[in-house]
Structure 1
Amino acid sequence: MFKPCVVIPVYNHEHAVGAVVDAVLATGLPCILVDDGSTAACAQVLGHIAAAAPQQIILVRHARNQGKGEAVLTGIRHAADAGYTHALQIDADGQHCVADIPRFIEHAAAHPTSLVVGYPQYDESVPAIRLYGRYLTHVWVWINTLSLQVKDSMCGFRVYPVAPVLALARRHRLGTRMDFDTEVLVRLCWDGMDFINVGTRVGYPTDGVSHFRMWRDNALISRMHATLFFGMLIRAPKLLARKWSKA
């Protein structure tokens, strides 16, 4: 059985989330909104959005901000409780191309045990420092997985098979903030999951709001890469044996 839904973590994106949800619902997919401790203004907007389409939207609220990773996991847990097998994660700020959702879902339906991961296709306006910073993370992911399976681990547009993600979260405490998107992919790769990389156009947040905190999040990401590196060393024989068996 393949039964997908969309999970949108939301933290103070009241000016952009309405258009994102409208576009998601236009695809015919149900939507789980996770309010990650937003301000009263955003909480009110989310309440109106959910009330306008009660058959299509589940609204879940965190009493306080817990981070993007925790919000995504909350959404995936509610997806499992509602009987969904796959959760398409997309950001609330409008940076992702919602028109690509059908392509992502088609890939997930054809390969239900794989993780469908978006990789950004930027135009010439993207700052060079943004590309360099992402590339550094890509290199660490390739090292920590001993593979080139994942083209981009930082894009928050992807389709998760629900059961393996929740099994991973039960046995390992995953990063709760901006480190989540990368860590979950590396650990699922260690578990033997296959990846399908799908190119998708990515822009800047339509509401101009970014929750990336340079010092805090860079520190979290650096610590995550170091932890994963030592985890890779322990798993290296198994990872290399798996790689050679597929060669």
Structure 2
Amino acid sequence: MNLCIVIPNYNHTHAIDQVLAQLYGAGYKIVMVDDGSNAEAQRYFDELAPRYPQLTLLRHQVNQGKGGAVQTGLRWAYENGYSHALQVDADGQHCLADIDRLVECSRENPEAIISGRPVYDESVPKHRYLSRYITHVWVWIETLSLSIKDSMCGFRVYPLAPCMALFERCELGKRMDFDIEIMVRMYWRGTPSRFVDTQVIYPEDGVSHFQPLADNIKISWLHTRLFFGMLVRLPKLLWRKLSGQR
């Protein structure tokens, strides 16, 4: 197992130094994808880079969205000989002390996606919590399975070979819809998933790039497409369920 860390970043400057400092001690190669950030943020990232020898900074000239940045990082990791990549958000929401638990679970299940399963405190916005639950229900319908415990957490270990095979076969969403779509499509292709409980916080000074109208429309359209994709795969999914496969 050869693992690196991928961080998508669009104008997240308030917590990224602390995130990198925590990741630095883990000893993994870090790939941060600057997703078309503004000039001030770019200068800040350029100043940070020399402090962290393990850090490689990739840059999109035009913002593609979180999913586009993650895909760029995963492709770079695969092309540079890594077998797995751990996705970490740049906003400081994730409990990075749980990295060892995710990596150990990945070592035990190298063919699986290993995802954090968020444990929230009172800082979670109620509308975000409700919208996540609605998405979970749709994912259970689209997979005819309850095995995907969370499809929106951006704290994951990806096995890169099956990800590349999926990317070659279809174009995935490049914004907030990516996290959901890759989980469902990887499940359809037979990639299992495992989940590790992890604390997630919403910092008071945190910056979110979730656009309620635009991103909810994209996610709704995604669920529409995945639902009809499920219908096409219905016999296979039913057989998988009846045969006891997760």
Counterpart CA distance in 2 for 1:206 and 1:95 is 11
1:32-111 matches, within 5 Å, as: 32-54=31-53, 56-111=54-109
Which deviations, in whole Å up to 9, do the C-alpha atoms of 1:12-46 show, x marking residues without a partner?
Answer: 01121111111111111110000000011111121
Query: Partners of 2:223 and 2:214 in 1: how far apart?
Result: 14
Quote how far apart the aligned CAs of 1:48 are: 1.9
Instruction: State yes or no: 1:149 paired with 2:147.
Output: yes
Alignment partners' CA distance in 2, 1:42 and 1:170: 32
What residue in structure 2 maps to residue 186 of structure 1?
184
**Taking structure 1 as the reference length, what is the TM-score of the superposition?**
0.96
Query: Helix, strand or coil: the match of 1:35?
Result: strand
1:13 aligns with 2:19: no
Q: Is the 8 A contact 1:16 1:207 kept in 2?
A: no
Amino acid paired to 2:193:
F
Match of 1:126 in 2: 124
Q: Which 5+ residue runs of structure 2 have no aligned equivalent?
A: none
Give the alignment's TM-score, normalised by structure 2.
0.97
CA distances 1:75-125 after superposition (whole Å, capped 9, x unpaired): 001101221100000100000111111110010111100110111101134
Evaluate the alpha carbon distance shift between residue 10 and residue 205 of structure 1 in structure 2; reply closer, same or farther with a 3 A threshold.
farther
Using the aligned pairs only, state the percent identity.
Answer: 54
Contact 1:37–1:66 (Cα < 8 Å) also in 2 = yes
Which one of 236, 239, 247 corresponds to residue 237 of structure 2?
Answer: 239
**Paired AA for residue 152 in structure 2:** M
Q: How many residues align?
A: 245
Please say if residues 118 and 200 of structure 1, whose CA atoms lie closer than 8 Å, have aligned partners that are also in contact.
yes
Q: Quick one: which of 202, 205, 217 aligns to 1:204?
A: 202
- What do residues 156-195 of structure 1 show as CA deviations (whole Å, max 9, x unaligned)? 0010001111110111010000000000000000001111
Match of 2:24 in 1: 25
Cα separation, 2, equivalents of 1:150 and 1:35: 29
What is the alpha-carbon distance in structure 1 between the residues aligned to residue 67 and residue 20 of structure 2?
20
CA RMSD, Structure 1 to Structure 2 (Å): 1.2
Gaps of 5+ in 1: none
Q: CA deviation at 1:206?
A: 6.4
More displaced stretch, 237-246 vs 139-148: 237-246
